[in-house]
Amino acid sequence: MREFIVEADGGSRGNPGPAGYGAVVIDAATAETLAEAAEFLGVVTNNVAEYRGLLAGLRAAHRLDPAARVHVRMDSKLVVEQMSGRWKIKHPDMKPLAMEASRIFPPDRVTYEWIPREQNKHADRLANEAMDAGAASAGPGTPSAAAKTDADLRAARTVATPSVGWGSAPDLGAPATFVLLRHGETPLTPQKRFSGSGGSDPSLSDVGRDQAERVAAALARRGTIQAIVSSPLARTRETAGIVAARLGLEVGVDDGLRETDFGAWEGLTFAEVHERHPDDLAAWLASPDAEPTGGGESFAATATRIAATRDKLVAAYAGRTVLLVSHVTPIKTLIRLALNAPAESLFRMELSAASLSVVAYYADGNPSVRLFNDTSHLR
């Protein structure tokens, strides 16, 4: 089994203040640097920046080999002790970050070690370069990111943290563009019933099939879709099939695009859940880590799954435009992650059946939300 060392750091000039992180992935056997990442985060606390560095390092290691073992080395005693389970995580800003980090690899394949700051110079340098670039080019509050794989590093051994200002931004080439299509209506949609990946898996209604035909015609007029990937559920595959027939494309299926599993709430309305499981519903509304009754999937778990699926598809469709046919929670989560918005923003978005949203992902890791919940093709 392959083994990686992840060294990560984060800093904030003001705590909270202009902040950034750095992370590096090292081959444990050869000591070769395989990946580096750095990002200017805007105004956050020092501890949040450290957790963001940890997340970036673990994600980079996962992209290299999701079956690997990982040894994390950080000079943050807080992060090391909390992630090792010896200290409780009380701060609300750090709880979701820690939960997300714990799900990237199975816990039994990740170990944590505290090291003195002088032994963490590589990640510390990357974090400071990210903060310097952010302060020089845009000032506090404007994000920037850079990431390199081992292929990039064979050509250049230093991190090139990108400029933040538009005027000095490099030409990053064509982005991977995700056109996000929510499936058409099912019999459960107008009744506003929970319909996730653990329920009855309904097909489209007559209204839903008509919506799919309309969106297919609209996408055919645009003529930009180069590939189609669908959730494995019946309503998404049927929607994708109608569009694919119009565009003359095949449909790929990715399980990562499936809807959240709503457990015992599947098929119920919000009012019915409130009546039968009021405490569980209140907890679910209050925390992204809470699961629906009966062992469903939390929004935090969904976000981890969607982030991994996003990274995989961005790599697979770099420079291309791909239609992703999915569901409410995955599409909202992709938008939320692109905007770096908090988890509770999921409850503040309306996503209609057969709507279109668009996110472009550039080579430096920065996303651009270009469209959200467009239903003009249904009018």
Residues with catalytic function: 183, 259
User: Under DSSP, is residue 134 helix (H, G, I), strand (E, B) or coil?
Assistant: helix
The continuous run of DSSP H or E covering 287 comes out as none
CA dihedral 118, 124, 125, 129 (to 10 degrees): -150
Residue 282: how many other CB atoms lie within 10 Å = 12
Residue among 333, 339, 373 at smallest CA distance from 354: 373
Query: Hey, which bits of the chain come out as E strands?
Result: 3-12, 17-27, 33-44, 69-74, 110-114, 144-148, 176-182, 227-230, 251-253, 321-326, 356-361, 367-374
* Tokens (6 digits) for 247: 């565009």
The continuous run of DSSP H or E covering 276 comes out as helix 270-276
* Tokens (6 digits) for 148: 């390199």
CA geometry: angle at 57 spanning 51 and 60, to 5°? Answer: 140
Which positions ≥6 away from 319 have C-beta within 8 Å? Answer: 173, 174, 175, 176
